[in-house]
Structure 1
Amino acid sequence: MFLRKPNARRSFNVFKQATTVAFALCSLLMVSSAQGALWTITYPRPIDDSDARAQYPIAVLKLALDKTGVNYELRPSDRILLTGKAMRQLRENREVNVVWSMTDSQREKELTPIRIPIAKGLIGLRVFVINENKKPKFTDVLSLADMRKLTPIQGEEWPDTKILQANGFNVFTVPEFREAYDMIKQGKGDFFPRSVMEVTAELDAEGRGRSNLHLEPTMALYYPTAMYYFVSSSNKTLANLIETGLNRAIDDGSFDELFNSTYSSILASLNVKDRKIFTLENPLLPLETPLTNSSLWYRPNQVKNQ
């Protein structure tokens, strides 16, 4: 009796088919597991639970996660984390696994950005909180050169500080934003540039009408920048999940609906279309910023940059 030699090609094909089937089954199980597993997503706890600055980013994040269909729990960190500390904790995979913040080249090197500006660039459109006693200083401001003679107040670790400095401003820095409001109340510095998406709620919280705080009514600064969600460089899966959800919300119009319902009345109340806007350069802006995708940015036709 003769033994037939095994056919090497046939054996390889059988092995290949078995491997393909096994891989497909594993993939299906992983997808099913991801859909069924609970994703616990922790963001930095704001200074207080009523902090309006956190409400929109949290709402957008919920919208994006809902669009993916995953089972998730979104919760704040156990302790209050200001942006600088939150970024450091995120780099080290501690306490939080997602942070929203204004981008710059350094942050994009150290973390993974989801390059969809969640507030359509409003973070770079700044109006001025001033002390009522400083009003006369602004009547003579006709140009960016005039603006540079005034002293803005900003946070020590904020990208905004470097942007203002790069554009010729002598910036007075403080550890965190509430100290900036204290400085303005005390008459130190000349103005506190605040994003149009933040300033209304902040002034209400600071007791506008019961203090010497005043919102300068005629001018603004603008620099191109974006507020992104950031995750750890080792957490690509979460980055892909959030990006997928954001893109689905953009495609079906729910992203724009949330943006407009949140900010249309605020922009109107701040009279943005009639302000004189001084445009600054942003040397910190990464080349990958999607500036050419007009659907991602708020750029009212009425605004004329100076």
Structure 2
Amino acid sequence: MQRLRWLHQFIGLSCLSIASLSVAGEDIQVIKMTPKQSQEDVSHDYLVKLVSRSTEIAEEHFGPSRIEFMPIMLSQGRVLQLLGIGGVLDLVSSAPTSEREASFLSVKVPIFMGLLGYRMMIISPEKRMEFEEITSEDQLKNLVACQGTAWPDADILEDSGYKVFRVDKFEQMFEELHDGGCDYFPRGITEGYGELEYYNEKNPEKPLAKFDSVLIHYQVPLMFYTSHNNFELAAKIQYGMERMVENGELEALLKTHPVTQSAFPLSKWKNSKIYSVPNNRLPKSVPTFKKELWLELNTQP
């Protein structure tokens, strides 16, 4: 109740803030984004840089912008509900579902150019030998993956017979690996290494480990969502991101950002084994046919 009461107060202050900007005649568009999910959420900086650069490219046609952040972080399910409240939240990154595509307006460019669907695993060091002995997908399915309660990934994995343990908070994933609630935490190759490095720096007394000799792959992009009323913002980011794909800036950002650069060069994965998982829940509206938007790994079958 206290959090909800505070949130109602925050909504009121946000609306007052927007009104004062309007009265003052300021024409800079304020884009409200979520803060980090936790200190381990080092991918947040990549998202911010991508929004900043794409809107900068689009500024000539859509006008200037600046980014601000909500002062608190809620679960993904609750955060999405805030998109329709003017001045509180304008932009969320999320994996697409049919419900989200109907309820919100998406920017049809995959944020990580499809590499998010290639999943390495964060594990407890004590389980390394068990993972090294995996020679079949059935062995992996007998282990338990940690996933977010509202993440589409959890449904995708369960559809194919994977065991999933769902938790509400991002930082709880790391604790469950230590406590035995789950055996591995699948993370995109564009995000997992940075998150693991940050976690181990902050928790040297109980480090976790990477396992990437085996990858799980399912086609699931991360995309930006806004409300249907905020169509100009969606158009602005879409325009900027499409230009970044065309001129190579988006791939260059992936190759150079501290969080995502560990995925490159993509040839480093040629000796990894990959287990492909179908994503029958991927909405038809996701532009999988636009090959220029997607990067792929060449790995062992």
Q: TM-score range with shorter-chain normalisation?
A: 0.7 to 0.9
Query: Are 2:144 and 2:164, in contact at CA under 8 Å, matched by a contact in 1?
Result: yes
Matched, 1:61 2:51: yes
> What is the aligned partner in structure 1 of residue 238 from structure 2?
243
Q: 2:200 aligns with which of 188, 192, 207?
A: 207
Measure the CA separation in 1 of the matches of 2:32 and 2:67: 6
SS of corresponding position for 2:71: strand
TM-score by length of structure 2 reads: 0.82
**How far did 1:122 drift?**
1.9
SS of corresponding position for 1:126: strand
Alignment of 1:165-204 (within 5 A): 165-204=158-197
Measure the CA separation in 2 of the matches of 1:265 and 1:118: 14
> What is the aligned partner in structure 2 of residue 272 from structure 1?
269
Matched, 1:120 2:120: no
> What is the aligned partner in structure 2 of residue 42 from structure 1?
32
Amino acid of the structure 2 residue aligned with 1:65:
T
What 5-or-longer segments of structure 2 have no aligned partner?
A: 1-25
**How far did 1:48 drift?**
5.5
Amino acid of the structure 1 residue aligned with 2:292:
S
Query: Are 1:91 and 1:110, in contact at CA under 8 Å, matched by a contact in 2?
Result: no
> What is the aligned partner in structure 2 of residue 157 from structure 1?
150
Measure the CA separation in 1 of the matches of 2:247 and 2:159: 39
**How far did 1:282 drift?**
0.7
**How far did 1:275 drift?**
1.4
> What is the aligned partner in structure 2 of residue 257 from structure 1?
252
Query: Are 1:167 and 1:281, in contact at CA under 8 Å, matched by a contact in 2?
Result: yes
- Structure 1 residues 49, 134: CA separation in 2 closer, same or farther (over 3 Å shift)? closer
> What is the aligned partner in structure 2 of residue 222 from structure 1?
217
SS of corresponding position for 1:234: helix
- Structure 1 residues 130, 269: CA separation in 2 closer, same or farther (over 3 Å shift)? farther
**How far did 1:142 drift?**
1.6
Amino acid of the structure 2 residue aligned with 1:266:
S
- Structure 1 residues 212, 55: CA separation in 2 closer, same or farther (over 3 Å shift)? closer
SS of corresponding position for 1:80: coil
Identical residues among aligned pairs (%): 23
**How far did 1:71 drift?**
1.4
- Structure 1 residues 214, 291: CA separation in 2 closer, same or farther (over 3 Å shift)? same
Amino acid of the structure 2 residue aligned with 1:122:
L
- Structure 1 residues 224, 47: CA separation in 2 closer, same or farther (over 3 Å shift)? closer
What 5-or-longer segments of structure 1 have no aligned partner?
A: 1-35
Query: Are 1:185 and 1:212, in contact at CA under 8 Å, matched by a contact in 2?
Result: no
> What is the aligned partner in structure 1 of residue 299 from structure 2?
303
**How far did 1:91 drift?**
3.8
Measure the CA separation in 1 of the matches of 2:54 and 2:171: 30
- 1:231-263 Cα distance to aligned partner (Å, 9 max, x none): 102221211121112222222332232222227
Amino acid of the structure 2 residue aligned with 1:225:
V
Larger Rg: 1
SS of corresponding position for 1:45: coil
Amino acid of the structure 1 residue aligned with 2:276:
T
